[in-house]
Amino acid sequence: MKNPLLKIQDYGQSIWLDYIDRDMLDSGEVKQLIEQDGLRGVTVNPSILNKAISGSDKYDEDVHTLASKELSAAEIYESLAIEDVQRAADLFRPLYDASEGDHGFVSLEVSPLIAYDTAATIEEAKRFWRKLDRPNVMIKVPATREGLAAIEQLTAQGVNVNVTLLFGLPRYRAVADAYQKGLETRADRGEPIDSINSVASFFLSRIDVLVDPLLEDMMSGEGEKAEVAERLHGQIAVASARMAYQIYTQIYAAERFQSISEKGARTQRLLWASTSTKNPDYSDVKYVEALIGPDTVNTAPPETLDAFRDHGNPARRIDENVAQAREFMNLLGEVGIEINEVTAQLEKEGVEKFSKAYDQLLELLEKMRAEAPARTPDTASTD
């Protein structure tokens, strides 16, 4: 029987791993996932690196070496993250080359502390891009209002952007517009656009985590509203994603994109993020199975990847029940839940959660850094 993770590729979807650490890089696990499971990319953020560094002693030596050079905790984080992403990108480079730049990407996120600062986001993204120095990396930029201008300018400067913390459909349209503007600016300058890649990362399970309790309150009542709430329960994230895919197909079939497609422009693929199931009553592969389709990416944590390998049922489902998805999104408003308010709250909470994880990571590194002077000279530096 064919590995379900490999079979996903038959429907035009790529699987990325939403995790990386040095244990996986050193042991050959990442290489094995590429060869046996068809893994096509990796994403990294401060939460992941916090977990990686706190859960492994593989970083200790480098932290103390960097600390001995009087680097700050933020500079140590940046150095560790860049090394991990470079190593991962090198493992994916054969896939990137063989697919002519379609697959094999590794993403690194700018600091969430600058999510509302366009200029700082651009500056940090460009610095990461230069330091990483790999064609198959992406810089993650949040889809805040301030992030939109950064997405446009970075794309125009030839930086591959992974747009993160994207929740709402109107904001998705704005993200796609920013990407196209960046490509158009670059093309107007006579610069190549055929090697630029981008994804728009739509966060899913968090939508249901916020909306479901509101619907459950209504379901405890009686009458038509309770019945509608029961129909919508657990359905909004998938419905929203399916509507996003409809928008995607419309945008990239339109004349505007076709005019730059002739110059080699690639579509900004939709990436399904936050795909681990939070509600134990739902299938543990709910946010993978429901959204398989062409020109999409699903970035899953190791547990979800293992679950799908074990019992996933791959089939093209991204454009199933589109009319129902549209109906569900309309009904949500009719029962008094404004999806735009929901997605605005999720964006705010997403930035706050990532910022908290980033702060915790810096606190951990500062603690490790403080221990550096106690180390003996022969182990404090290994230049």
Per-residue 3-state assignment (H helix, E strand, C coil) for 99-130: CCCCCCEEEEECCHHHCCCHHHHHHHHHHHHH
Evaluated on CA atoms 117, 194, 89, 65, the torsion sign reads: negative
Q: Are 308 and 3 in contact (CB under 8 A)?
A: no
Residue 279 within any structural domain of the chain: yes
Residue 335 within any structural domain of the chain: no
Residue 331 within any structural domain of the chain: no
**Radius of gyration of the chain from its Cα atoms, rounded to whole angstroms:** 21
pLDDT of residue 16: 98
Q: Please, what are the averages of pLDDT over each run of 10 residues along the chain (383 residues)?
A: 93 96 94 97 88 87 91 94 96 98 97 97 98 98 98 98 98 98 97 97 96 96 93 98 98 97 97 95 97 97 96 96 97 96 97 94 91 50 33
pLDDT digits (tens, 9 = 90+) for 171-181: 999 999 999 99
pLDDT digits (tens, 9 = 90+) for 220-248: 988 999 999 999 999 999 999 999 999 99
Is this structure's pTM higher than 0.85? yes
CATH of the domain at 175: 3.20.20.70
Residue 150 within any structural domain of the chain: yes
pLDDT of residue 45: 83
Count: domains in the chain: 1
Residue 240 within any structural domain of the chain: no
Residue 382 within any structural domain of the chain: no
Which residues have CB under 8 Å from 220's CB, separation 6+?
A: 226
pLDDT of residue 373: 57
Q: Are 314 and 128 in contact (CB under 8 A)?
A: no
Residue with the two structure tokens 């709402």:
168
The Cα 130–Cα 198 span in angstroms is 17
Q: Determine the Cα angle at 175 with ends 173 and 176, to 5°.
A: 65
Residue 24 within any structural domain of the chain: yes
Range of the domain at 155: 4-203+265-312+346-374
Residue 213 within any structural domain of the chain: no
Q: Are 63 and 368 in contact (CB under 8 A)?
A: yes
Q: Which residues are catalytic?
A: 140
Q: Which of 356, 278, 313, 380 is nearest to 115 (CA)?
A: 356
Q: Are 277 and 205 in contact (CB under 8 A)?
A: yes
